[in-house]
Chains A and B, each alone.
Chain A
Amino acid sequence: MTWWCSATSAEWSWTWRPYPGVWLFALALLAWYALTLRRSAATPLRPYAGTPLRPLSFAVAAVLLWLSLDWPVGALGAGYLLSVHTTQYVIITTVLVPLLLIGIPPELRPRGAFARFMAGAAPGLLGYTAVMAVTHVPSVSDALMATQAGSLVVDLAWIGGAIALWWPVLAPEGVARISPPLRVGYLFLATIPPTIPAAFMVFSDYPLYATYELAPRVAGIAAGSDQQTAGLIMKAGADPLLWISMAIVFFRWQRAEDAAERRARSLSPQETAS
């Protein structure tokens, strides 16, 4: 039984194949969420009531997790096309994990010292960059993608790295996150590290990853063009999503500032009279 997608060097086929490990992972995530919510709802505070967008966001994240790691995307990305592998990375890092974190209500926030520490800009950025850098080193990637366990490690590391990236921005209320203006700068800084592997992918004369260079070709896509596409996806795919996030953070902050100013004005009638 194949539990997780990995590089097999077998000819690519569009015949469906099951990867129960992925289903179990996505189901376990949803089950944890539902159970924890039920427990939280049973408390006298019932803080979760009236916010249906959160479970929806979490459910969409779980579905995205399933879609991006299961056949065919998971199988293509694990052993055939670097461009699909990078698409998985971009989806996990810039869409899936943010939705996952948005879905966590304040009551479910982790309260430990580690969660507080990771809410800082430096640990978040360093954790994210370290995972991104290590998992894109060709020898590391080739070694890990060759086995199911290794491929699982890569996927979990990406999720972990993305949580590190987004925790200072999207940690549930109650966690001391970085200030909104700092969040904008932080997200801008996050667009820089992927430029390095992306540049290597785009400008390298020869394929960097043996896994994708020696894999049976899919739809006649050459290893070189696949790698260049992967580099472009890594930058041009992820950056706009981070810019959108920056814009959302900025305009929300601006709106909050305006509201606070209006409130302050309404509280000081003398000032408004003058």
Chain B
Amino acid sequence: MKSVVLLSLAGLLACGQGEARPAADSAANAVATQSPVLRGKLRGVIQNPPQPKPDLILLTTAGKPFDLRRETKGMLTLVFFGYTNCPDVCPVHAANISKVLKTLPNDVSSRVRFIFITTDPERDTPEVLGKWLASFDPAFIGLTGTKEQIILAQQISQVMPAIREPDPSKPANYFVGHAGQVIAFTSDDLAHIVYPFGVRQLDWANDIPILVNGWPQ
């Protein structure tokens, strides 16, 4: 009797295993078929080939070295080059990302890092940069460095290095022409997608929950 019960249990387990395998296969198939769909749903600009996360070490607003690859490992990392006196693109990107992160569930927003690298290190002192970013979201990370380090950071991040432009209305002032896109590095440390200026909160709210789970292969 005991053996019959054991055999029956073994049979049940075998059946269970037999059923589990197709289920796992179908899940894998679902992921495989979902990925192009998910990629199709993304609203940023897909880069092919993707660009690697730059090997950067800059200073935080607290004056501590920040190793971009190490500190953001496994996170969805949104990297943007801008400056705090920017009248248009920078505050809009920062405000939109900040707003969306506040509306997304915590298990999604906690896996996102927004890195703002100043292109105007002269005026964007760590204090100024920190205060400006905190006005959007205290979790935003501001990075700075020497002028040369910032230029190098832009080059290895494959964006056009920023240039100084005179302000015609105020000669003492100047603007900084800089790249307008946010580069999104997924957990594989690659940027498969970038977000140019014009991307809206709805677009971020659509894409971030997909990208925090890694690039849909």
Contacts and interface: CB of A to CB of B under 8 A. Distances in A.
Interface stretch (B64-72, B74-82, B150-158, B195-203): B195-203
Given A206-B201, A213-B201, A217-B91, A222 B169 contact: no
Contacts of B99: 206, 222-224
Among B197, B200, B205, the most chain A Cβ lie within 10 Å of the Cβ of B200
A43 interface: no
B96 interface: yes
A133 B142 CA distance: 43
Contacts of B103: 205-206
Interface string B89-110: 0011001100110010000000
A11 B173 CA distance: 14
B88 interface: yes
Q: Is the interface of B mostly helix, strand, loop or mixed?
A: helix
Contacts of A196: none
Given A216-B87, A222-B99, A224-B99, A207 B92 contact: no
A153 interface: no
Contacts of B100: 206
B88, B103, B169 pick with most chain A CB within 10 angstroms: B88
- Of B95, B135, B197, the most chain A CB neighbours within 10 A belong to B95
Contact of A223 (B95, B169, B197): B95
Contacts of B91: 216-217
A46 B202 CA distance: 61
Contacts of A213: 92, 96, 200-201
Interface in A29-84: none
B149 to A, nearest CB: 28
A82 B200 CA distance: 16
Given A11-B87, A11-B88, A217 B95 contact: yes
Interface string A256-272: 00000000000000000
A9 B205 contact: no
B95 to A, nearest CB: 6
A122 interface: no
A214 B87 CA distance: 12
A220 B135 CA distance: 10
A217 B200 contact: no
Interface string B107-149: 0000000000000000000000000000100000000000000
A111 B34 CA distance: 65
A79 to B, nearest CB: 12
A274 interface: no
A10 to B, nearest CB: 8
Given A11-B87, A11-B88, A216-B87, A206 B197 contact: no
Contacts of A217: 91-92, 95
Most chain A Cβ neighbours within 10 Å, of B91, B96, B205: B96
Interface string A1-44: 00000000101010100000000000000000000000000000
A220 B95 CA distance: 10
Nearest to B95: A222
Nearest to A224: B99
A247 interface: no
A210 interface: yes
Contact of A13 (B135, B169, B198, B202): B169
Contact of A205 (B87, B92, B197, B205): B205
Interface of B: 87-88, 91-92, 95-96, 99-100, 103, 135, 169, 197-198, 200-202, 205
10 contacts: A13-B169, A205-B103, A206-B201, A216-B91, A216-B92, A217-B95, A220-B135, A223-B95, A223-B96, A223-B99
Given A206-B202, A210-B200, 6 more contacts: A210-B198, A213-B92, A213-B201, A217-B95, A222-B99, A223-B201
The 7 closest A-B pairs by CB, nearest first: A11-B87, A206-B201, A216-B88, A206-B202, A216-B87, A217-B91, A205-B103
